[in-house]
Copies of this chain bind each other. A is one copy, B any other.
Amino acid sequence: MVKVAIINIGDELLIGQVVNTNAAEMAKMLNAAGFDVVLTQTIGDDGETIRKFVVESLAYNDVVLVTGGLGPTKDDITKKVLAEIFDSELVENVEVREHIKKMFAQRGYAFTPTNQEQALVPKKCRVIFNAVGTAPGMCFEKEGKLLFSLPGVPFEMRTMMKEVIRIMEDHFETEVIEHRTLMFAGIGESFLSDMLEDFEATLPAYMKLAYLPQPGMLRLRLTAKGTSKKLILSEIENRKEALRHLAQDYFIGYEMNSLAEAVGEKLVEVQKTMATAESCTGGNIAHQITLIPGSSRYFKGTVVSYANEVKQQVLGVNVCDLEKYGAVSEQVAKQMAQGVRQLLQVDYAVATTGIAGPDGGTEEKPVGTVWIAFADVNGCHAEKYCYASTRESFIDRVSNYALLMLLKKISAAR
């Protein structure tokens, strides 16, 4: 087992202004290649702290991956610290300098002394080429262990990780590691856990089951590690099938990251189209659907009807119903779904109308109240939920409820 530690450097991560997405993304790539990430750490832009954690992590692990602190600005100091740790002077790298110059020329920018400093690298390191940015990556080797330093900009890090993994694969012999993920929806974590008690108790020592709850859905991940690829593969496939059968009623799909992906697969399979009419979700369902590559095959569009006039004039919601029942009502939700279905000429439509908060609630309809409607050629169906939370998590959860309703209705319609 090759043990990997990740160190993400940046004061902005420690005061919480920026969420650290790099750790997760790097871990995912390393894991897929059979390396074990055992620790991720976030520390500040401080020379002494960087030195302490890099040296300690190298002592306990086989590979240390550092991100951040390579930019051209004054608060970026990682490169100097690493040059000290590995006792190596900074020298200009001609290839890196020419690459930076070229990138600046393409963008029509001048090449300033601040940028010139980015072409300096420690003499002892192997340069990891940064095709999409100006800060070069670095790889150091010491007593059979590897240390990598990459920029903190996610897009640059992502591109360079491929080269990092190639170097690691050349350097180490890796164990076989397999993951299988199953998505479930419509059941709470503790209930699923009770259903799977016997299954979990009889798992062999080299397999692990993890619960990954998200708003409105839940993924289970099976992991198997070992030296025999054949055994690992056959065992994990068997257990995966067993798991599915134990909770078949709530099963959505394998290796899926979102309900939007599940909806997309189903629509491609049945060759139907869809649209959304969104009030409280404000376009987030459409956004989730269009994050999936190829969604133009089944998704035709959306009307975000935030204002009541838009509900009336574009979606054709009855003005008397709007006044009588209010915008957050079964009647309006259904008319929105039917309206967008007709307007965009699709097979299936979902609509949402609710109170995301923090203001706008009443005693009868408190913040968190939402109606979700589905329309197809056979008619219309609506459900009411109440989920008081932050604005953002309300929008996320309602979007997932709507996608789940869509998925179930499409599956039932076949």
Q: How many residues of A contact B (CB 8 A)?
A: 105
A107 and B72 alpha carbons, distance in the complex (Å):
54
Question: Which chain B positions have C-beta within 8 A of A155?
Answer: 389-390, 393
Task: Return the contact of A211 from the options B73, B112, B307 (Cβ within 8 A).
Answer: B73
Chain A window 187-199, contacts with chain B (Cβ cutoff 8 Å), 1 for yes, 0 for no? 0111101100100
Indicate if A13 sits at the interface (CB-CB under 8 A): yes
1/0 per residue A144-156: CB within 8 Å of B? 0000000001110
Taking the full assembly, how many copies of this chain does it contain? 2
Residue from the list B71, B191, B309 in contact with A109, Cβ < 8 A: B191
Q: Give chain B residues whose Cβ lies under 8 Å from the Cβ of A373.
A: none
Q: Determine whether A305 belongs to the interface, using a CB cutoff of 8 Å to chain B.
A: yes
Q: Is the CB of B112 within 8 A of A194?
A: yes
Query: Is A75 in contact with B39, judged by CB distance below 8 angstroms?
Result: no
Given that A13-B40, A20-B24, A193-B72 are known contacts, is A282 also in contact with B290, CB under 8 Å in the complex?
Answer: yes
Interface: A219 (CB within 8 A):
yes
Interface presence of A301 (CB below 8 A): yes
A28 nearest in chain B by CB position: B16
Report the bound CA distance from A305 to B301 in whole Å. Answer: 5
In order of increasing CB-CB distance, the 5 nearest A-B pairs are A282-B290, A16-B28, A283-B286, A283-B283, A16-B27
Chain A residues with a Cβ under 8 A of chain B:
11-21, 23-31, 37-45, 49, 71-75, 109, 112, 114-115, 134, 153-155, 158, 179, 181, 188-191, 193-194, 197, 200, 208-214, 219, 221, 223, 276, 278, 281-287, 289-291, 293-296, 299-307, 309-310, 314, 343-345, 356-359, 389-393, 395
Q: List 20 A-B contacts (CB under 8 A).
A: A12-B221, A14-B37, A16-B25, A17-B221, A41-B41, A72-B190, A73-B190, A109-B191, A154-B393, A155-B389, A155-B393, A282-B287, A282-B295, A287-B287, A300-B306, A300-B307, A300-B309, A301-B305, A301-B306, A301-B307
